[in-house]
């Protein structure tokens, strides 16, 4: 809480929140409380301690309940998987353990043993333990959500929920290979609190299940989260990647005003000096023939008709007399026909 209050005082954005942002933060806080109540523990040791402490409180509550109201009760707990290290336990108040002996002919330790066998057999049959690929996918999703890969709030602490979508972009993708260039230098954000001893890489490339579980616990608890970088930190990353930038040499015409640099159109190559050859080539160029019309198709299908010439011209000098005789004969025939 002290870290959150200090962050609120230092960041002006947290002091002037809109109604929508306040609702989103309250929803994230409620989800975070549910995760703490119902979230899976990181390993068997943590699960065993949780069961022992919780069952001890239950024992005290049942005893106090009997003292206040006189209501007898009993409770039992067992491990849910054969690989768990949880110790089966039984507690009762008001002599409730005698109910098992008188009714079922079983002692309380025998009932606990049967209950443990049933729970382990049921877990093997109906429920599979989470695989490493499942945990890797959850880690990748938590990292992407904090960077800005989703519009939905995610179950992290309230300060982490506000830093979600820290880049202000919804299409940002996480880069592990070029992390410093694509994320730190380009976006100005950094993933802080990466668990020590775990190499920084994509969760899918982390092969040890203990390392993946540690990373998931750090992301879920808010220890590993995104934070904005200062200008000095960004400049330091830039120097690490590109070195100190060199200043350019001053140009000799730096103080002179330069106009636009427009390219001249080339007209000599486009138009030839002697227009004869160019015009002749354009005139004699074959024209593209389009699709023939329907009337032209029909005309092409009709056979040609024979036409007789009234006069037959001959350019040969020897045939001039014969052509004249033919013309006179035709004239006589026409005259006789008219007279008759």
Q: Would you state the pLDDT for residue 175?
A: 84
* Residue owning tokens 């005290």: 60
Helix (H, G, I), strand (E, B) or coil at 265: coil
Tally of CA atoms within 13 A in the half-sphere of 154 that contains its CB: 23
Q: What percent helix, strand, coil does the chain show, rounded to 5?
A: 55, 5, 40
Rounded CA-CA distance 216/41 in Å is 10
pTM confidence score: 0.35
Over residues 182-219, the pLDDT tens digits come to: 888 888 888 888 998 888 988 889 888 888 888 888 88
Question: What is the Cα–Cα distance from 76 to 55, expressed in whole angstroms?
Answer: 9
Task: Please tell me the distance from the alpha carbon of residue 224 to that of residue 55, in angstroms, as a whole number.
Answer: 31
Using 50, 70 and 90 to split pLDDT, how confident is the model at 284?
A: low
- 258-270 pLDDT tens trace: 666 655 555 554 4
Q: Are 36 and 157 in contact (CB under 8 A)?
A: no
Spell out a b/e string for 186-210, using b for 16 or more CB atoms within 10 Å of the CB, else e. Answer: ebbbbbeeebeebeeeebeebeeee
Rounded to an integer, what distance in angstroms lies between the CA atom of residue 27 and that of residue 153? 8
Q: What is the Cα–Cα distance from 164 to 185, expressed in whole angstroms?
A: 19
In angstroms, the CA 103 to CA 242 distance is 80
125-140 as b/e: b if 16+ CB within 10 A: eeeeeeebeebbebbb
Domain boundaries, the chain: 129-244
């Amino acid at each position: 809480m002290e870290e959150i209050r200090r962050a609120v005082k230092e960041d002006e954005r947290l002091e002037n929140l809109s109604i929508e942002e306040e609702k989103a933060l309250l929803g994230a806080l409620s989800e975070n409380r549910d995760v703490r109540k119902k979230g899976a523990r990181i390993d068997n040791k943590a699960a065993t301690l949780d069961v022992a402490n919780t069952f001890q409180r239950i024992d005290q509550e049942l005893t106090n309940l009997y003292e206040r109201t006189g209501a007898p009760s009993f409770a039992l707990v067992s491990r849910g998987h054969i690989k768990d290290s949880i110790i089966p336990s039984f507690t009762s108040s008001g002599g409730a353990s005698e109910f098992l002996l008188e009714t079922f002919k079983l002692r309380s330790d025998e009932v606990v043993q049967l209950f443990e066998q049933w729970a382990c057999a049921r877990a093997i049959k109906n429920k599979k333990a989470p695989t490493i690929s499942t945990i890797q996918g959850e880690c990748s999703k938590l990292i992407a959500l904090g960077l800005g890969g989703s519009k939905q709030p995610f179950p992290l602490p309230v300060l982490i929920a506000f830093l979600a979508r820290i880049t202000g972009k919804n299409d940002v993708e996480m880069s592990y290979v070029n992390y410093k260039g694509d994320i730190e230098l380009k976006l100005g954000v950094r993933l802080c609190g990466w668990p020590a001893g775990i190499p920084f890489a994509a969760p899918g490339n982390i092969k040890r299940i203990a390392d993946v579980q540690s990373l998931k616990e750090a992301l879920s608890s808010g220890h590993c989260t995104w934070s904005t970088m200062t200008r000095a930190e960004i400049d330091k990353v830039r120097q690490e990647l590109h070195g100190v930038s060199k200043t350019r040499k001053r140009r000799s015409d730096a103080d002179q005003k330069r106009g636009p640099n427009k390219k001249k159109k080339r007209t000599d190559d486009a138009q030839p000096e002697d227009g004869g050859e160019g015009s002749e080539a354009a005139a004699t160029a074959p024209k593209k023939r389009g699709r023939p019309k329907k009337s032209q198709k029909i005309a092409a299908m009709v056979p040609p008709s024979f036409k007789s010439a009234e006069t037959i011209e001959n350019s040969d000098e020897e045939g001039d007399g014969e052509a004249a005789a033919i013309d006179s004969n035709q004239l006589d025939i026409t005259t006789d026909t008219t007279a008759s």
